[in-house]
Chains A and B, each alone.
Chain A
């Protein structure tokens, strides 16, 4: 008998293990995920003058441009809200998604040296990549809520609902990001594809226009884009609009879950060859 019964046996074979065992391993490596997130956050604003203020700049400038073009010139409907408020709520959510997806898609190739030299469940990489931009989201919201309040849009009790909405964005960024990260290891084309996807996505999502522009019957279909539900949800929470976004959000949530499952599945399938191909 071995003196140390806690030394569990591990078997390495050419075959993959089960998804559950894999997810268990990701969980066992949560310290690593935490450290990778912490590293990303710590490094992101190193040697910058404005530091974390950069979390506010991109949504702010996009909001200014959109307000000028779509709000003032084209006069897009904004559900009865001032256009700047209407767009910045959506942009805050979209900005998180865009940042998370870009990070996740590049997460494997940016950590090539780790993949070649140490073992850990590779899903930790896209996972930490989508978690670190949450800080920027939090900073942006921490500014946005008081600014809206000053403009007379007082935050409501709906505010905690931002958490499940963010979870939908998180899940879809992880699902899509994991697929892109895995493909990126083989085909660096992905790096060029991601900005394009995000540009298209910005207009496929009701960011500059309201979901109410889409006929009521077709509106839940918009939810096949998971970010549509998130963006409309963010507006509903932050602006206190009356139009009920929940059918849309529900469809988006389901889409996000499906995307997440597919993402993990594809990633698991491809990750074992990462070290050989990267």
Chain B
């Protein structure tokens, strides 16, 4: 089967500074006139220093019916890519070939006019999004039903609450039945009940065999909906493949400056002193292949190895885990009282059970003492990421609050 979308080496340059290229109106008119003459096409390269490449050659193919999540930091080029695919802005280089009709939802409420009634806006917004009048008419009842604003259909939307406005706007957009749908971060709106409705809708669109490209900062939403993910990093594709592995890599490198594992093969360069040399430290999933992502359900081990150079030291190790806000989640140590230890290589290891930590980025600090004396103390030695997992969310995709996220024994029973 032919791919629904084939992007070949698309690049997009923005001219920084004002007015993109021509600096005066006269210059622009001149350039336009010149470009009408044959053989004079192609403007001068311009000042390279003012150029910004939002996309630097991106290629991919998407099969019909595939639902692809697009992840990346702000400014990575995600929105630019959608704008090129939806033809809002042309690429500077490269080409895109797509089959069928393409529809884009880059914003909720595109084309809504505050003075017009809800009913009028459904038709207007539908037309602007590229629906035929007959299509809107056919879906009208569904749209209104989906939005839940039937009582206010003849009220100008400027009198709507922002929630109602969003719901109506999304409802129109959700019924856009093009072969290919491009969606940018629309789920950031509304209460969680509505978010769930939107995601379900996206899911059913995906199951209709339509091709969807979906940008979201909510990795959990991407994991729930998309089987494939593309990670854009500063205008290039950093990873493209099954959602779980792309997201693990994205989340892994995005924040983990300290790294999930560190080694010091050369003892002289290792952190430490005459008493202690740290040789390695790592965080890894338990019972999974090395390098596997850690999610909230996954148990993981933190360990470090060191050379004890002090004969007979009463070594007492500590591992302190803090979250992104600097809150100490726990400070763990061995369960037995320290005893005198002979010199040599040692390892400290502790296992953190699954269903305890919340998703997020954590830092690990290491400490080693001999009785009261601090031999080694390295703050933020490691950084690791715990990914979210749809388990227990029941279709809700918001941020799960809490310093920890234990799964507790919970009973729910009917009493009367």
List the interface of chain A (C-beta within 8 A of B). Answer: 2, 4, 7-14, 31-32, 34-35, 38-39, 42-43, 46-47, 113-120, 183, 186-187, 189, 265-266, 269-270, 272-273, 275-277
Contacts and interface: CB of A to CB of B under 8 A. Distances in A.
Nearest to A15: B90
Interface in B311-369: none
Contact of B128 (A114, A183, A186, A270): A114
B116 A12 contact: no
Contact of A39 (B87, B91, B100, B116): B116
Contacts of B124: 35, 38-39
Contact of A117 (B92, B101, B110): B110
Contacts of A277: 19-20
A187 B88 contact: no
A275 B83 contact: yes
B128 A10 contact: no
Given A118-B110, A119-B104, A275-B88, A9 B28 contact: no
B32 A12 contact: no
Contacts of A42: 115-116, 120
B123 interface: yes
A113 B28 CA distance: 24
A11 B97 contact: yes
Interface in B7-52: 14, 19-20, 22, 25, 28, 32, 35-36
Contact of B104 (A118, A189, A269): A118
A32 B96 contact: no
Contacts, number: 121
A207 to B, nearest CB: 29
Contacts of B110: 113-114, 117-118
Contacts of B92: 14
Interface residues of B, number: 49
Contacts of B1: 2
B107 A120 contact: no
B25 A187 contact: yes
B205 to A, nearest CB: 17
A183 B25 contact: yes
9 contacts: A10-B97, A12-B90, A12-B97, A32-B130, A35-B123, A38-B124, A117-B107, A119-B86, A119-B104
